[in-house]
């Protein structure tokens, strides 16, 4: 029993020694200033101070900047219509080739009109008879053989039948479907013998030269865009740069999106630009002299805006900035920076106010 107690005492003393040794070793390490820096150097400084964080930076210089707005939009046909019939009936003829170009007024589809033709012939027969009666009544009125009232009744009958004939002719015209404008016709959805109704889609007809480019710009740029302003754009299907001109501007701002809708016209003689395509648009607004540009990665979004870090007296300092136009690589700073400031372009997420930094200057 005594041996067991002695074993437990020795074990407890051994554990106590190990704890004491570990605490003593940690204190020695802290006394030597073993803290590591978050910078690229990764070594502690003398007297327990952190080594400076090694970052890249640029010296701000005013430059001339073409203030181009880069936005997205959609390509639309200049004119577009879904061809349908105004009357119901069997299709007796299709006179267009799918995918071809048709001229305005070209007959595209003919609907069976035999019943309407018969109605017209009946109406014309009645009209001719009524015309004969009206002419006879006029002669009798001149001789005083009938009253004015009797003649007026005969004339009214004639005019009524003429109107009826005109109405039937209008119905007959609806059985012939013509192209409302010159354009390219798409794939047809009917065949000869199809029973056509006003709800049936025959085909799509589009005019694609020129094409329309529809896009929206943020409200703050609304005053800088005028009718006649030039745009350049590309599509996903081609790297070719196309040009166009603004021809119409919506008279008001969209209250939901706070944007202004704009439409431009662009030539499309070879029909390479297809309606419905996605367009990447560059709109020239103005040229800024003495503009301050910094890389996009230097800007840090915060709760109440944007900040950048600059180097001052070997330390990082936060500067609140206001930004303007953004390009693929740079962003225009409208306030907060001045010429000669050293802006830190890397390490933004690791930087803190008054953190020591060592800057490697990079050419812009």
Rounded to 5 degrees, φ, ψ at 275 are -55, 140
Q: Band of the pLDDT at 348, cuts 50, 70, 90?
A: confident
What pLDDT does 85 receive?
A: 95
Q: Are residues 106 and 179 in contact, defined by beta-carbon separation less than 8 angstroms?
A: yes
What pLDDT does 302 receive?
A: 87
pLDDT digits (tens, 9 = 90+) for 244-285: 999 999 999 999 999 999 999 999 988 889 999 999 998 887
What pLDDT does 361 receive?
A: 84
Tell me the CB-side half-sphere exposure of residue 256, using CA atoms within 13 A: 1
Average pLDDT of the residues in 185-202: 95
What pLDDT does 285 receive?
A: 79
What pLDDT does 144 receive?
A: 87
Q: Which two tokens stand for residue 56?
A: 């890249």
Determine which helix (DSSP H) or strand (DSSP E) holds 118, and give its type and residue range.
helix 114-143
Residue ranges and CATH numbers for the domains of the chain are 54-66+289-361 (2.40.420.20), 86-199 (1.10.287.470)
Determine which helix (DSSP H) or strand (DSSP E) holds 169, and give its type and residue range.
helix 148-173
Whole-prediction pTM: 0.62
**Range in 161-165, 199-203, 287-291 with the lowest mean pLDDT:** 287-291
Q: Please say whether the dihedral angle defined by the alpha carbons of residues 19, 25, 30 and 35, taken in this order, is positive or negative.
A: negative
In sequence order, the β-bridge partners of residue 278 are: 74
Residue 27 has pLDDT above 60, yes or no: no
Q: Band of the pLDDT at 43, cuts 50, 70, 90?
A: very low
Using CB atoms within 10 Å of the CB of residue 162, give its burial: 0 to 12 exposed, 13 to 18 middle, 19+ buried. Answer: middle
In whole angstroms, give the CA distance from residue 208 to residue 225. Answer: 25
Residue 200 has pLDDT above 90, yes or no: yes
* Between 243 and 37, residue with greater pLDDT: 243
Q: Band of the pLDDT at 287, cuts 50, 70, 90?
A: confident
What pLDDT does 34 receive?
A: 40
Q: In what order do the strands lie in the sheet with 195-196?
A: 176-178, 107-111, 89-94, 195-196
Average pLDDT of the residues in 150-155: 92
What pLDDT does 259 receive?
A: 94
What pLDDT does 286 receive?
A: 74
pLDDT digits (tens, 9 = 90+) for 124-143: 999 999 999 999 999 998 98
Q: Band of the pLDDT at 214, cuts 50, 70, 90?
A: very high
Residue 40 has pLDDT above 50, yes or no: no
Residue 204 has pLDDT above 50, yes or no: yes
Residue 311 has pLDDT above 80, yes or no: yes
User: How far is C-alpha 305 from the chain's CA centre?
Assistant: 26
């Amino acid at each position: 029993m005594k041996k067991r107690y002695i074993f437990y005492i020795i074990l407890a003393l051994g554990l106590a020694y190990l704890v004491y040794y570990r605490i003593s070793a940690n204190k020695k390490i802290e006394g030597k200033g073993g803290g590591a820096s978050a910078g690229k150097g990764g070594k502690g400084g003398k007297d327990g101070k952190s080594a400076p964080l090694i970052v890249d930076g640029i010296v701000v210089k005013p430059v001339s900047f073409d203030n181009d707005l880069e936005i997205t939009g959609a390509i639309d046909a200049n004119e577009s219509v879904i061809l349908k019939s105004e009357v119901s009936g069997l299709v007796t003829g299709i006179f267009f080739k799918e995918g071809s170009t048709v001229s305005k007024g070209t007959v595209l589809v003919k609907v069976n009109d035999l019943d309407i033709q018969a109605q017209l012939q009946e109406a014309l027969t009645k009209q001719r008879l009524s015309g004969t009666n009206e002419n006879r009544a006029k002669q009798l009125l001149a001789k005083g053989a009938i009253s004015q009232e009797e003649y007026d009744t005969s004339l009214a009958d004639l005019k009524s039948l003429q109107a009826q004939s005109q109405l039937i002719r209008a119905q007959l015209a609806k059985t012939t479907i013509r192209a409302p404008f010159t354009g390219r016709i798409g794939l047809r959805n009917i065949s000869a013998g199809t029973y056509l109704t006003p709800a049936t889609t025959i085909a799509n007809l589009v005019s694609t030269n020129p094409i329309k480019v529809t896009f929206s710009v943020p409200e703050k740029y609304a005053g800088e865009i005028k009718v006649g302003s030039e745009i350049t754009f590309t599509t996903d299907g081609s790297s070719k740069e196309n040009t166009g001109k603004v021809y119409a501007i919506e008279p008001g701002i969209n209250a939901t999106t706070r944007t202004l809708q704009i439409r431009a016209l662009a030539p499309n003689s070879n029909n390479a630009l297809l309606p419905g395509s996605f367009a990447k648009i560059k709109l020239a607004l103005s040229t800024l002299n003495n503009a301050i540009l910094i890389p996009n990665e230097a800007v840090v979004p915060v709760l109440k805006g944007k900040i950048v870090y600059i180097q001052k007296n070997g330390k990082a300092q936060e500067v609140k900035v206001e930004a303007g136009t953004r390009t693929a690589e740079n962003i225009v700073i409208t306030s907060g920076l001045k010429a000669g400031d050293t802006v830190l372009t890397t390490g933004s997420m690791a930087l803190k106010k008054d953190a020591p930094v060592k800057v490697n200057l990079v050419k812009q």
